[in-house]
Amino acid sequence: MRAPTRFPALAPATLVPLLAVVTLAVVWGRVLPPVVEVVVVVLLAGAVLAAVHHAEVVAHRVGEPFGSLILAVAVTVIEVGLIITLMVSGGPDTATLARDTVFAAVMITCNGIVGLSLLLATVRRRVVVFNPEGTGAALATVLTLATLSLVLPTFTIGSPGSAFTGPQLAFAAVSSLFLYATFVFVQNVRHRDYFLPPPREILTPSSSGRPGDAVGDEEHAPVPPMTTALGSFALLIVALVAVVGLAKVESPTIEAVVADAGLPRPVVGVVIALLVLLPETLAAARNARRDRTQISLNLALGSAMASIGLTIPAIAIASLWLDGPLVLGLGATQIVLLGLTAAVGILTVMPGRATLLQAWVHLSLCASYLFLAANP
pLDDT by residue for the chain (376 residues), tens only, comes to 444 444 455 577 888 889 989 998 888 877 778 888 888 888 888 887 787 778 778 877 877 666 667 766 777 776 777 777 667 666 666 778 888 888 998 999 999 999 999 999 998 888 999 989 999 999 999 999 999 999 999 998 888 778 888 899 889 999 998 998 899 888 888 888 888 887 654 444 444 443 344 444 445 457 778 888 888 888 888 888 888 788 778 777 777 777 787 888 788 778 878 877 887 888 889 889 888 899 899 888 988 888 888 888 888 887 777 766 788 889 999 999 999 999 999 999 999 899 999 999 999 999 999 999 988 8
Letter for the amino acid at 7? F
Output the pTM of the full model.
0.79
CA 43 to CA 58: how far, in whole Å? 22
Q: Are 284 and 113 in contact (CB under 8 A)?
A: yes
Alpha helices in 186-328 (DSSP H): 199-203, 226-260, 266-276, 278-289, 293-318
Q: Taking the CB of residue 36, how many other CB atoms lie within 10 A of it?
A: 15
CA 119 to CA 12: how far, in whole Å? 30
How high is the pLDDT of residue 166?
85
CA 253 to CA 239: how far, in whole Å? 22
- 298 closest CA partner among 143, 153, 37, 117: 117
Kindly tell me the sign of the dihedral angle through the C-alpha atoms of 365, 371, 374, 376. Answer: negative
Structure-derived torsion over alpha carbons of residues 43, 45, 51, 57, reported in degrees to the nearest 10? -110
How high is the pLDDT of residue 40?
87
- 314 closest CA partner among 83, 138, 70, 74: 83
DSSP state of 354: E
CA-based end-to-end distance of the chain: 42
Give the DSSP H or E segment for 353: strand 353-354
DSSP state of 128: E
How high is the pLDDT of residue 358?
94
Per-residue exposure over 104-115, b if at least 16 CB sit within 10 Å of its own CB, e if not = bbbbbbbbbbbb
CA 287 to CA 294: how far, in whole Å? 9
CA-to-CA separations, 299 to 52, 135, 212, 267, in angstroms, rounded: 12, 11, 23, 24
